[in-house]
Amino acid sequence: MSTPAPGALSDIRVIEMGQLLAGPFCGQLLGDMGADVIKLEPPGAGDPMRLWGQGEEKVQWEVIARNKRSVTCNLRIPEGQQLARELIAKADVLVENFKPGTLEKWGLGPDVLLADNPGLIIARMSGYGQDGPYSDRAGFGGIGEAMGGWRYIVGDPDRPPARMGISIGDTLCATYGTMGVLAALHHREKTGEGQVIDTALYEAVLQVMEGLVPEYDHNGFIRERSGSILPGIAPSNVYTCKDGPFMIGANKDAIFARLARAMGRPELAEDPRYATHLARGRHQTELDDLINAWTSTLTIDEVDDLMIEYSIPAGRVYTAKDMLADPHFKAREAIIDVETETHGTLKMQNAFPKFSKSPSGVRRPAPSEPGQHNAEVLSELLGYDEARREELAAAGAL
């Protein structure tokens, strides 16, 4: 892996506190864009994310902790709290996802930190936000997905609510938190002022729920689970070929006409049941059955070739194995090789989005051990020598 350019945020220092997913994913995004991310981990086992993931060897940590330096810090004792305060005073951004009130309990509330460092940006991520009647409740991403409306509409109509196979509530919250940090950095550039960004899991999910709320408010309509379709949007579904599933999205009139020709059934585009968007929506099930009967006679390659020939949005339903074999992923460098300290060369998603002038990238692998960068960071930022570090370690702070 070649070392990429510094990145757009190369002059920004981030202290990341918190565990599992929302805070650390925000730190990953900022680190990918070039920020110097210093992750504070509890002494000993470190962040539980080190043990997360699927398969015999847990490698999810290698993605979420890339571009970070690890410093151990026991936030539950005064010596550790003081150490954190000193580090935060040297930072541009603090990212945390503790239960509201936790920082304040440790003497690290925004009033204290902003008094030390008036330009500090504090990105706070929690289940329900920093205020309101639910703010002191424990909250995980799945709970935010349920409260924000996501879980209710995911799955088949005759089954209980389902979930996406990833922690989408956490990553949405982190993504909005990252957007907030970037906007706050712009505000600070103009005014010199830091500020607090309050990001709630359920509100992050709510942001992507499209017309769900106004549809109920204005029409009394409640969206229900609809399986693999979006009701009224047809044809747009996963269809069965001889050798597996294939996605086709031909819900625009002109595109559906091209699909009809690709199927050898041009008359379908003139059929009153399918000629318009609204008509196709009313006859969605029978149209899907008709298309599925056609795709089931062909292989994925055969259908794919026809979709390309007739310029119809369509594609294979990829697994990770398919991604690694696909030439477009390779050409775009969407997946890269990273030399990790624990697992050797590991393929993972590249930094995203792409920048033409200040490219993001993976500059360093995830720290293999909690506190791996204690000496480096504490010397560089705070001027601590070995004697001072040993003193902190003896007190249980490191």
Per-residue pLDDT tens for 154-203?
A: 999 999 999 888 899 999 999 999 999 999 999 999 999 999 999 999 99
- Tell me what pLDDT residue 139 has: 87
Pairing label, strands 236-241, 195-200:
unpaired
Contact 114, 189 (CB under 8 A): no
The band of 5, judged by pLDDT with boundaries at 50, 70 and 90, is: confident
- Tell me what pLDDT residue 20 has: 86
* Domain 236-321 CATH class label: alpha beta
DSSP track, 145-178: HHHTTHHHHSS-TTS-----SS-HHHHHHHHHHH
* Domain 13-208+331-394 CATH class label: alpha beta
The CATH 3.40.50.10540 portion of the chain extends over 13-208+331-394
> Which two structure tokens, joined as six digits, stand for 141?
């991403």
Region of residue 108 (left: phi > 0; alpha: psi -120 to 50; beta: else): alpha
- Tell me what pLDDT residue 328 has: 97
Contact 172, 207 (CB under 8 A): yes
- Tell me what pLDDT residue 119 has: 98
What is d(CA 214, CA 222) in angstroms, rounded to the nearest whole number? 10
Percent of the chain with pLDDT over 70: 99
Average pLDDT rounded to a whole number, residues 222-236: 94
Average pLDDT rounded to a whole number, residues 247-252: 97
DSSP 50: G
> Which two structure tokens, joined as six digits, stand for 212?
């769900």
Contact 67, 4 (CB under 8 A): no
- Tell me what pLDDT residue 1 has: 45
- Tell me what pLDDT residue 172 has: 97
Report whether pLDDT(6) > 90. Answer: no
Report whether pLDDT(53) > 60. Answer: yes
Contact 359, 5 (CB under 8 A): yes
Per-residue pLDDT tens over the stretch 15-24: 999 888 999 9
What is d(CA 12, CA 167) in angstroms, rounded to the nearest whole number? 27
What residues are labeled active site? 170
**pTM for the model:** 0.94
Per-residue pLDDT tens over the stretch 323-347: 999 999 999 999 999 999 999 999 9
Per-residue pLDDT tens over the stretch 110-121: 999 999 999 999
Locate tokens 């899907």: which residue? 288
Burial 58-97, CB ≥16 within 10 A → b, else e: ebbbbbbbbbbbbbbbbbeeebbbebbbebbebbbbbbbb
The CATH 3.30.1540.10 portion of the chain extends over 236-321
Contact 25, 60 (CB under 8 A): no
Specify the range with the lowest mean pLDDT, choosing from 4-13, 212-221, 286-295: 4-13
Per-residue pLDDT tens over the stretch 73-127: 999 999 999 999 999 999 999 999 999 999 999 999 999 999 999 999 999 999 9
